[in-house]
Structure 1
Amino acid sequence: MTEQDPTKEQDHGYSSVTKPSEVETLLGALSEPGGASLVLENSDGRVLPVLVAEQVFGEYLLLDLTAIREVASELRGGHRFRLIGQAQGAMLRTPLLTIDNCQETDGRLQCRCDYPYELEVLQRREAFRARLRLGMEVGAILRCQEDGTHSQGDLRDLSLQGCRLELPVGSANMLTTSTPLDIELCFLNGARFSIQGIPKHHQVDVERQVVSVGFQFMTPRTDQERQIWMFVGEIERESARQSSDRDDGKLRSKLFQIDPKAPAPVARRDAQVYATPMTKRLASVAGYLDSELLELRDQPQLHSVHLSRYADRLLALYDEDREALLFATRCLFQEARLVRHGLSVAVFLLDMTVRSKMPRDACKAIAACAMVHDLGKGLLPNELLQAPRLDEAQRAELHSHVERLEPSFETCQWLPSSIVRSVFREINERLDGSGYPAGLTGERLGELPRLAMVVDVVDAMRRDRPDRPAWKIKDVYRHLLDRPERFEQRWVKRYIRNFGLFPIGTLVRYESDQLAWVQEIDAQGQPARVQLTDAVKPPDRSLGEILQGESLLALGKPQEEVPLSM
C-alpha cells in the first residue's frame, strides 16, 4: 500500500506532484529500460535494479524483480520500499510502497504494488547540494593512486556533480594534482560509496586547522548516479526530520545510525593522533562544538538534543578520570580557539561545582552553558576577532556576541533559565560594573556567575590573544587577587586551592632543567605526577615517561611554568 501523509508536507528541497496526468507521465519515465531503481526502507544504502513492467493508472504498478530475487522474500513479507529515477531533469521518488501480489511467469518474478497517486520531485538536480547538518556524520577517505598517499576527512555536502570535503590542513599537498583522486564516502551504518573526483577549489581555515575542498565527480556511471540520488534524498529527508517543529514519528535515516557490526567510523578526528586516550574521547565533544559553531552561522539556534547528549558525555568522562580530563583540555591544540576555550571552561567549572556538591542536573546544565558560552563570537567578522587593538566601536561589537547567541537558547527548554543567565549571560560581568553586556554590579550577581567569571578569566588569560601572549598562571592569580573590586576573592582563593600553583596541564621546568607536563597535584597544590617532554610545544604522542613519588623527587623542585601558545 502507498504511505499516506494527510498533511502533504514535503521534505526540504522536494515538491509534491499530485496531478494525475503528471504522475502518469513521470511514472512513464520510470517504465523505460533502466529508468527505475528500488531502495528498501532503512536500507544500508543499496540501490537495486528493478523494471517497471506495467502501470495501470489508478490501480497498480507491475514490477519485475527477477534481478533482485535475494530481497524478494523481504518484499513479500511487507518490507516497504521506494522507487527512484529521473525525469524531465529532476530526481523523483515514490512514497513508501509495499508488494501485495507476486507470481512467476516464464522464469520472471513479477509483483504488484499499489499505484502511487503522488510523487516527490527534487528540482535543479545538477546544481542542488544536500548539506549535512549536525549529527549527520559521513566520513571520507581520499586516495591518490599515483603516489599512494591518502587522507581522512568529513563530507560536508553532496550533489550529482560533486561534493565538498573537510580534510586536515596537512592534506593540501594532495590537491595540486590534475589526476583524479579516489573518494570513498563512509556512512555510520557501514555503507560505502566510491567514485573519482577532481579538486576544483579549496580554502584553508587556519583557525579550525582544516582545508575545505570542492570536488567535481568524473562522469558517474548510471548505477553511481542513482546511488548519489539516494544519498542526496536521505540527507534531505534527515535534514527535514531534524528541522521539524513537531514529533511526526519519522524515524532517523538508517544511513546515520551506527551499526555495531560496521567497520570503525571514519572521520577527520578519527585519523588524528592524540596525546592521551582521554584526549581522543574529548575530541568527540570538540567535534560537536565545532559543528555547532558552523551550524549557528546558517541557522541561529542551538541543537538541544545534541547539547544535552554531549554535556552528559562530558560528565561521564569526568566520572571516568578527573585528572585525565583536566589534562586533555590542554591537548586539543588542533581545535578552534573558541572550541578549546569553551571546553576548558566547562571542565574546570564542572570540577568546581562537583566539588562544591551541587546537584548533578545542575552540574550538567552549567557544563552545557559553559561549553557554548563564547560561540557567539563565531558569528562576528574574523577581522574583528584577530584585531590586535580595538577601538570603542569595535569593542562594543565584540561584546555583542552575548546578544547574538542568546536567542539560540530558546530551543533548549531543559536548561534552567537561572543557569543560562548565570553562566552564559553573566560570565563576562564584573563586581564593579565594568563587565558586559549589562554592566551589572556585585549586588545583582549571584554566586554562580561570581565563580564562572573567575574560571573564564583564568582560562582566557592562559591562552594567546591577538593583542598579547599567554600569561603564566602565577601572574594570572596575582591579577585576580589584586582586583577584589572586580572578582570575588572567596572564589579566587578556592580556585587556587583546588587547582594549585601548577594546575594540571601546566608545562613546568624543574631544577634539573627537565620539562614535564603536570598530570596530578597533591594536597599542597604541587605536582604529584608528571609526564616528561623534551620540547616546548603542546602535548602530543611524543610525551615521555610518567614520574611520581621518588622518581619525581629526583627532578628537584619545580622552578617555573613555561607558557605556550595554545
Structure 2
Amino acid sequence: MTSSDQHQNPSASIIRSLLKHTNELSVYSKDMPYALTAEVAELNLSTGHMVLEIEYAGLGIERYFAHGSVNFDLEALKGAHAIERETYSLSNVSAKLHKSDSTHYRLECQLPESVFVQENRGAVRIPFIMGMQARVSLEIYSNNLNVPGRLRNLSIGGCMVDIDLADSIAIGLDQSIPGVTLEFPNGDSFFAEGNVRHIRPFGNHGYAAVGIQFTSLSTSQAETLFQFVNESEREAAYRTGTNDKLAYHSSLFIPGLKEKKILQREAQEREKQARQSPMQRGVMDVAHQLQVALMYMKNRNLFPSEILYDCVDTLRYLIEQDRKAFLFALASLREEPDWVRHAVQVTSLLADLLLSRDPHDPQVREAMLGGLLHTLGKPLLVSEQLPSLKVNMNPAQKLILSGHVEEFLKKINTLGWEPSPTCRDVIENANERLDGSGYPASRRGNQLSKLIRLISVIKIVNKLLHSRNGEPTHSPLNAYRIVSNADAAYDKTVLVEYIQAYGLYPIGCLAKYSGNFLAWVMDIDARGMPNQVHIVKNLRFPETNISSVISQGDITQIGKLEGIVNPFNYGLKVLKV
C-alpha cells in the first residue's frame, strides 16, 4: 500500500470506486415521502470533502438535512452488462446546504473518517461494501412466508437487509420476525429472532431496506454473532485497505461450493436476460413508485399524493411521447406483483383509450389516479391469514381479498385524504359489472358511469390475458370471446372499441411462428397483423436467447404466425438488477 493510499478517506475511496460505473445517488429522509436524486460534483479523496448537486423545485428541501446532516444511498450497476448491483449507504453525514439559484442546490458533505459506524447503543455497525455479501432469509410468518434478501450491514444489535420492494408488503414497523437467517459465502450461518425497526425504499431499482433488531439472543447466539461481526469488520478493513496488516480475505467471505453454484447460476441468468429500454425503464419506475406509495401509507401513515400524481403524469407523458413503444414497454411488467402490474397496465390502457376519444378530456388525470389506486387495498390485507398475494388462494383467503375496496377506502379515510368524484368512482366501482355480478356493491346498469363501463372491459381483458390465482392465460382472441359471451356483464360497444384499438395480436404480446421462433410484437398494421417484431428465441435452441428486430417482408423468413403464447412457458424473464 502506498503512503497516498494510507491517507485516503475510506468512505471517499468507496464512493469513487462506485462512481466509475453507472450509478445513482439518492438523498433520503424519514420525514419526506420520496428521495432526491443528486450528482457528485466534487470528491476529495484525501479530506473526504464531497459536494453534491441537487435540482429541486419543491418546498421544504431543508427537511432532508435536519440537524446539519444528510442520508444517502449510492447504487452502482457493474459487470459486462451493467446489471450487477452494488450499494453503499451513509447516514448522518455532516452537511451544509447552499442555494445556487431557484432550483439548484449544492450540498457540501464531510464524509466520515471510518467506514465503521458507531450506533446509539454503543455497537459498531459494519457495512457490507466493495463486493462483500451474505444472503438473508426473513421468516415473516412462522412456516408460512420467507422473504429472501441481501445483508447490507451487521452489528451485534441487528442488521439491515436489502429486499425486493415487492416483498415489502408483508413487513411493517415494529413487526416481530420469527426467524432471521444469515448465510455467509463459506456456508456458515446465523439464526435469530428479530424486530423491524425501520423500513424504507432503497435506491431506484425496486428494493427496500429493512432494519432489524435481533431479539431474545441466547449466550451461544450472542457469541456466534460477535464472531461474525468481527470477521465482517476484518473483511471490510481488508477490502478498503484501512489495515495494511491484513493480507487475505476472511474465511467467512470465501465462497464455498454451494455459493459458487448459486453465483454461477445467477451469472447465467443475467446473461440470458435482456436489458431494458428507456421506455421500459420509465414504466418500471412507475411500478416501483406505486409500491413505494404503499410503503408510506402502511408504515408512515401518510398519503403520498405527490408520488402518485407524478406516476399519473409520467404515464401520460410516456403515452404521448411514443404510444407504440409505450404499449410494448407495458409487457415488461409481467413479473411485477399482480396488483401492481394490473393497476399500471389497466391505467395505461384507460388513458390511451380516453385520450383517443378526446385528447383534452379533463377527467383523464383523476381517472388515471383512480386506476392506479384501485388495487392498493389488496396488499393492505396481507396478514398471517393472507400471507401472500402470489399463491393460489383458498376460499377463505379469496373472501378476505374481496374486501380490498373497503379496506382501501378505510385506509384513505384514516389518512385524511379525499379523492375527487372521478377518482372515487374508479376506486369504488372498477370491479362492478353491468349485470350486477361485480363487487363490492353489486351495482348494475345505469348505476355505473361511462368511465366504469370502459374500465371494466379493460380490466377483464387484462385479467384473462394473465395467469392469476391458478387461472390459465388466454390468447387475446379467446379473451375477447369470453367477454363477448358474458351476457350483459360488459358493454359490447366498448369491447368493439378495445378490439379496434389493440387487435388480435396486441403490441407487447409474444407471438409464435411456424419456423419455431418466438418474437415480441412491436407494431401492427392497419389489419392488426404484426409488421415489426423482436425475435428473442429459436425453439430449436431453447437454451439460447437471441435479439433481433425485423419488419415487414422479413417476417416471412421466420414462418407463419401461429398464435400468441405465454412467455412464462418458455422461460422468458424480465431483468431484475
> Is 2:488 aligned against 1:485?
yes
Q: What do the CA deviations read for 1:374-433 (whole angstroms, capped 9, x no partner)?
A: 121102233474564543x5444221100111244566979531x223322111001110
Alignment of 1:247-396 (within 5 A): 274-299=275-300, 301-359=302-360, 361-381=362-382, 382-383=386-387, 385=389, 388=392, 390-391=394-395, 394-396=397-399
> Is 2:534 aligned against 1:534?
no
Could you tell me whether the CA contact under 8 Å between 2:128 and 2:151 is conserved in 1?
no
Could you tell me whether the CA contact under 8 Å between 1:290 and 1:336 is conserved in 2?
no
The one-letter code matched in structure 1 to 2:294 is: L
Q: What do the CA deviations read for 1:334-376 (whole angstroms, capped 9, x no partner)?
A: 4222211211111111111111115354222222221221121
Q: 1:498 is matched with which residue?
A: 501
Could you tell me whether the CA contact under 8 Å between 1:209 and 1:335 is conserved in 2?
no
The one-letter code matched in structure 2 to 1:416 is: S
Could you tell me whether the CA contact under 8 Å between 1:531 and 1:544 is conserved in 2?
yes
Q: 1:166 is matched with which residue?
A: 162
Out of 496, 519, 524, the position equivalent to 1:521 is 524
In the alignment, the residues of structure 2 paired with residue 460 and residue 281 of structure 1 have an alpha-carbon distance, to the nearest angstrom, of 23
Could you tell me whether the CA contact under 8 Å between 2:518 and 2:536 is conserved in 1?
yes
In the alignment, the residues of structure 1 paired with residue 50 and residue 474 of structure 2 have an alpha-carbon distance, to the nearest angstrom, of 66
Task: Pick closer, same or farther for the CA change 1:83–1:452 going to 2, 3 Å.
Answer: closer
Could you tell me whether the CA contact under 8 Å between 2:133 and 2:151 is conserved in 1?
no
Q: What do the CA deviations read for 1:64-112 (whole angstroms, capped 9, x no partner)?
A: xxx99999xxxxxxx999589xxxxxxx9xxx9xxxxxxxxxxxxxxxx
Between Structure 1 and Structure 2, how many residues are aligned?
379
Could you tell me whether the CA contact under 8 Å between 2:289 and 2:311 is conserved in 1?
yes
Question: CA shift at 1:314, angstroms?
Answer: 1.2
Q: 1:225 is matched with which residue?
A: none
In the alignment, the residues of structure 1 paired with residue 288 and residue 409 of structure 2 have an alpha-carbon distance, to the nearest angstrom, of 22
Question: CA shift at 1:452, angstroms?
Answer: 0.3
Q: 1:476 is matched with which residue?
A: 479
In the alignment, the residues of structure 2 paired with residue 12 and residue 211 of structure 1 have an alpha-carbon distance, to the nearest angstrom, of 13
Q: What do the CA deviations read for 1:216-236 (whole angstroms, capped 9, x no partner)?
A: 976999xxxxxxxxxxxxxxx
Out of 401, 419, 424, the position equivalent to 1:421 is 424
> Is 2:184 aligned against 1:176?
yes
Could you tell me whether the CA contact under 8 Å between 1:144 and 1:174 is conserved in 2?
no
Q: 1:560 is matched with which residue?
A: 563
Out of 441, 460, 476, the position equivalent to 2:463 is 460
Structure with higher Rg: it is: 1
**Normalized against structure 1, the TM-score is what?**
0.55
Question: CA shift at 1:455, angstroms?
Answer: 0.7
In the alignment, the residues of structure 1 paired with residue 66 and residue 427 of structure 2 have an alpha-carbon distance, to the nearest angstrom, of 47
Task: Pick closer, same or farther for the CA change 1:367–1:305 going to 2, 3 Å.
Answer: same
> Is 2:483 aligned against 1:512?
no
In the alignment, the residues of structure 2 paired with residue 167 and residue 156 of structure 1 have an alpha-carbon distance, to the nearest angstrom, of 10
Question: CA shift at 1:329, angstroms?
Answer: 1.4
The one-letter code matched in structure 2 to 1:164 is: M
In the alignment, the residues of structure 2 paired with residue 507 and residue 527 of structure 1 have an alpha-carbon distance, to the nearest angstrom, of 11
In the alignment, the residues of structure 1 paired with residue 459 and residue 494 of structure 2 have an alpha-carbon distance, to the nearest angstrom, of 12
Q: What do the CA deviations read for 1:122-141 (whole angstroms, capped 9, x no partner)?
A: xx94399xxxxxxxxxxx98
Question: CA shift at 1:478, angstroms?
Answer: 0.5
Q: What secondary structure does 1:316 align onto?
A: helix
Q: What secondary structure does 1:279 align onto?
A: helix
In the alignment, the residues of structure 1 paired with residue 50 and residue 329 of structure 2 have an alpha-carbon distance, to the nearest angstrom, of 49
Task: Pick closer, same or farther for the CA change 1:214–1:460 going to 2, 3 Å.
Answer: same
Could you tell me whether the CA contact under 8 Å between 1:388 and 1:466 is conserved in 2?
yes
Q: What secondary structure does 1:354 align onto?
A: helix
Alignment of 1:12-161 (within 5 A): 125-126=120-121, 142-144=129-131
In the alignment, the residues of structure 2 paired with residue 544 and residue 525 of structure 1 have an alpha-carbon distance, to the nearest angstrom, of 23
Q: What secondary structure does 1:487 align onto?
A: coil
In the alignment, the residues of structure 1 paired with residue 538 and residue 50 of structure 2 have an alpha-carbon distance, to the nearest angstrom, of 59
Question: CA shift at 1:326, angstroms?
Answer: 1.1
Question: CA shift at 1:142, angstroms?
Answer: 4.4
Q: What do the CA deviations read for 1:176-227 (whole angstroms, capped 9, x no partner)?
A: 24799xxxxxxxxxxxxxxxxx998899xxxx99797768976999xxxxxx
Q: What secondary structure does 2:512 align onto?
A: strand
In the alignment, the residues of structure 2 paired with residue 325 and residue 368 of structure 1 have an alpha-carbon distance, to the nearest angstrom, of 18
The one-letter code matched in structure 1 to 2:535 is: L
The one-letter code matched in structure 2 to 1:501 is: L
In the alignment, the residues of structure 1 paired with residue 549 and residue 361 of structure 2 have an alpha-carbon distance, to the nearest angstrom, of 32
Could you tell me whether the CA contact under 8 Å between 1:200 and 1:214 is conserved in 2?
no
Q: 1:22 is matched with which residue?
A: none
Task: Pick closer, same or farther for the CA change 1:143–1:178 going to 2, 3 Å.
Answer: farther
The one-letter code matched in structure 2 to 1:399 is: S
The one-letter code matched in structure 2 to 1:166 is: D
Q: Tell me, which stretches of 5 or more residues in structure 2 are unaligned?
A: 1-28, 32-37, 52-61, 70-91, 97-118, 135-148, 166-179, 197-204, 214-228, 235-272
Question: CA shift at 1:294, angstroms?
Answer: 2.7
Q: What do the CA deviations read for 1:258-306 (whole angstroms, capped 9, x no partner)?
A: xxxxxxxxxxxxxx96343311222211110121233333355531111
In the alignment, the residues of structure 1 paired with residue 463 and residue 332 of structure 2 have an alpha-carbon distance, to the nearest angstrom, of 16
Q: 1:544 is matched with which residue?
A: 547
User: What value does the CA root-mean-square deviation take over the aligned residues?
Assistant: 5.2
Q: What secondary structure does 2:317 align onto?
A: helix
In the alignment, the residues of structure 1 paired with residue 159 and residue 151 of structure 2 have an alpha-carbon distance, to the nearest angstrom, of 7
Could you tell me whether the CA contact under 8 Å between 2:505 and 2:529 is conserved in 1?
yes
Q: What secondary structure does 2:534 align onto?
A: strand
Could you tell me whether the CA contact under 8 Å between 2:346 and 2:371 is conserved in 1?
yes
Percent identity between the two aligned chains: 26
Question: CA shift at 1:160, angstroms?
Answer: 11
Could you tell me whether the CA contact under 8 Å between 1:201 and 1:214 is conserved in 2?
no
Q: What secondary structure does 2:489 align onto?
A: coil
In the alignment, the residues of structure 2 paired with residue 371 and residue 158 of structure 1 have an alpha-carbon distance, to the nearest angstrom, of 37
Deviation larger for 208-217 or 159-168: 208-217
In the alignment, the residues of structure 1 paired with residue 296 and residue 66 of structure 2 have an alpha-carbon distance, to the nearest angstrom, of 32
Q: 2:85 is matched with which residue?
A: none
The one-letter code matched in structure 2 to 1:437 is: P
Question: CA shift at 1:480, angstroms?
Answer: 0.4
The one-letter code matched in structure 2 to 1:519 is: M
Could you tell me whether the CA contact under 8 Å between 1:201 and 1:213 is conserved in 2?
no
